[in-house]
Amino acid sequence: MKHLSFSKYNNYKKIIKKMSNKNKKAKTMKGKKSQKNSRVRVPVVQLTERGRRIRKYESIVSAAATTGVNSGSISKVVRGICQTAGGYRWANA
- Whether the CB-CB separation of 77 and 57 falls below 8 Å is answered with no
- Whether the CB-CB separation of 49 and 8 falls below 8 Å is answered with no
What are the pLDDT digits (tens) for 60-81?
999 999 999 999 999 999 999 9
What are the pLDDT digits (tens) for 10-25?
555 555 455 555 555 5
* Residue type at position 78: V
Q: What is the pTM of this model?
A: 0.59
Q: Which domains does the chain have, with CATH numbers?
A: 44-92 (1.10.10.10)
User: SS3 string of 65-83?
Assistant: HHHCCCHHHHHHHHHCCCC
Is pLDDT of 90 > 80? yes
